DNA sequence: CGTTTGCTTGAAGGTCTTCAAATGTCGTGG
DNA sequence: CCACGACATTTGAAGACCTTCAAGCAAACG
């Protein structure tokens, strides 16, 4: 893996260059074309990834067969089915590339092996799970405390990158509304 | 701490009697009267608890000063500000007893000390954080995939105990709606 | 027994959903 | 390079549901 990649991994997760070098030796770079899956429901999902460059979405199907986006991820974000990762269950959702994307992928096995060599990586694992929880908690508060319009404004404030890279029809179900409603919300806000 | 308590802790978290005995020696029983706080925004919150018997709610204030219930907890449930617990930040919400409640409380310090003595407790910590994440994930899916009415029906299926112990006005904001709307939903369903 | 608190119901207004059609945008092949 | 088709976004109309404010009823508690 070249030096540039190691640096980007380092930036992604704010650890030392040395540690990111070790990490990079235990994972791999995967390139995914637009609209290709990195993960599908029912498949093994015992690995996690960071987005080095690109954009992806994690979604489930509702009872009507509509895709509902649980997460929209861009540069520096983690992706993966964290539930499968920790429990060994099959994946419960899909992860698909919104544009051509480069991932750094590492398996559970590799992370666990690193943990045996250096307690740093046990700590690292804890931080990852804490991060996953905190993200989820923020999402719950966003959904409970704000209206769809406020949620959209929160997203505008929080991530220009998501707004620019990701089509509205995906953003809408992430916010819990239909694409038509998001279009009308944007119109309302314009004024 | 008496034997009965140890057994209830054991049931709560499905570990061996021996382990629950060790745990019980490192924590304490706390009794909280109806409408009393166990935790307030801005306070230290470096401890967690299990509900041995009773019911509590975790809530935040929105901009209008209304209380929004993030969680409703009954027997066997964990309570605590897990974000404060892991990060050391001050509590970001309130936890209050809905009825007279008995808690088993254990501090972060105690759990960390246990971890030094026996790797079992490191594993135990991981399981707790995984549990916290999975609960949060289920909540997000509930909010994104279902309508308020469906969410109420999901709750009916999931927890009769919550329905029985907790007044409607608290259940409503947990579901993301007003008490009036929940009243109308229940009326609709009756038919 | 009366007061407080919670629950229900009514009316008006706003937002979201659905279905449908029109308009925009983008990429590909001619 | 343009034209076409595919797909995304916008807009319209009707209907369902939620919210707010307000009032009436029920239950709980001192």
The bases of strand C with some atom under 7 A from any protein CB are 6-11, 15-20
Contact at CB, A176 and B144, closer than 8 angstroms? yes
The per-residue pLDDT for B6 is 83
The per-residue pLDDT for A9 is 77
What value does the mean pLDDT of chain B take?
93
- A111-136 tens-digit pLDDT: 999 999 999 998 898 888 888 999 99
What value does the mean pLDDT of chain A take?
93
CA distance B23 to B10: 9
CA distance B149 to A126: 37
- B101-131 tens-digit pLDDT: 999 999 999 999 999 999 999 889 888 888 8
Computed from CA positions of residues A111, A116, A121, A126, in that sequence, does the dihedral angle turn out positive or negative? Answer: positive
CA distance A57 to A69: 7
Contact residues of A toward B, CB < 8 A: 60, 62, 68, 70, 82-83, 86-87, 122, 125-126, 129-130, 132-134, 136-137, 139-141, 143-145, 173, 176
- pLDDT at residue B191 greater than cutoff 80: no
- A30-81 tens-digit pLDDT: 999 999 999 999 999 999 999 999 999 999 999 889 999 999 999 989 999 9
Judged by DSSP in three states, A9 sits in helix
> Of all residues in chain A, what percent carry a pLDDT higher than 70?
99
Nucleotide nearest to A147 (CA to C1'): C15
The per-residue pLDDT for B181 is 98
CA distance B168 to B171: 5
Contact at CB, B136 and A141, closer than 8 angstroms? no
CA distance A1 to A29: 8
* Higher pLDDT among residues B65 and B141, named by residue: B141
- Search chain B and give the residue with CA nearest A143: B143
CB contacts, 8 Å: A144 with chain B: 68, 70, 143, 173, 176
- B141-187 tens-digit pLDDT: 999 999 999 999 999 999 999 999 999 999 999 999 999 999 999 99
Nucleotide nearest to A150 (CA to C1'): C15
What's the rounded mean pLDDT across residues B26-54?
A: 95
pTM of the model: 0.93
Find the angle CA(B116)-CA(B122)-CA(B124) to the nearest 5 degrees: 135
Q: How many CB atoms lie within 10 A of CB A33?
A: 10
- Could you tell me the distance in Å between the CA of residue A21 and the C1' of nucleotide D27? 67
What's the rounded mean pLDDT across residues B23-44?
A: 94
- pLDDT at residue A144 greater than cutoff 80: yes
Q: Where does the pLDDT of residue A15 fall: very low under 50, low under 70, confident under 90, or very high at 90 and above?
A: confident
What's the rounded mean pLDDT across residues B78-92?
A: 94
- pLDDT at residue B68 greater than cutoff 70: yes
Identify the CA nearest to B73 among candidates B175, B173, B149, B159.
B159
Query: Which of B122, B140, B173 is opposite residue A136, by nearest beta carbon?
Result: B140
CB contacts, 8 Å: B91 with chain A: none
Identify the CA nearest to A130 among candidates B59, B147, B86.
B86
Compute the nearest-CA separation of B53 from chain A (Å).
26
- Search chain A and give the residue with CA nearest B59: A141
- pLDDT at residue B11 greater than cutoff 80: no
Contact at CB, B145 and A83, closer than 8 angstroms? no
CA distance B82 to A69: 26
Q: Where does the pLDDT of residue B1 fall: very low under 50, low under 70, confident under 90, or very high at 90 and above?
A: low
CA distance B108 to A24: 33
The per-residue pLDDT for B127 is 87
């Amino acid at each position: 893996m070249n030096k540039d990649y190691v640096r980007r991994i380092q930036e992604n997760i704010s650890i030392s260059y040395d540690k990111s070098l070790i990490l990079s030796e235990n994972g791999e770079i995967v390139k995914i074309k637009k609209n290709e899956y990195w993960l599908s429901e029912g498949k093994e999902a015992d690995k996690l990834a960071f987005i080095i460059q690109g954009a992806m979405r994690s979604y489930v199907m509702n009872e009507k067969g509509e895709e509902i986006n649980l997460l929209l991820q861009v540069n520096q974000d983690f992706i993966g089915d964290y539930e499968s990762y920790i429990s060994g269950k099959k994946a419960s959702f899909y992860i698909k590339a919104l544009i051509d994307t480069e991932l750094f992928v590492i398996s559970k096995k590799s992370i666990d092996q690193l943990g045996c060599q250096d307690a740093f990586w046990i700590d690292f694992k804890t931080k990852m799970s804490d991060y996953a929880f905190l993200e989820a908690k923020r999402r719950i508060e966003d959904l409970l405390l704000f209206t769809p319009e406020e949620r959209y404004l929160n997203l505008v404030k929080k991530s220009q990158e998501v707004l620019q890279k990701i089509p509205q029809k995906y953003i809408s179900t992430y916010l819990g509304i239909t694409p038509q409603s998001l279009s009308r919300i944007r119109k309302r806000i314009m004024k």
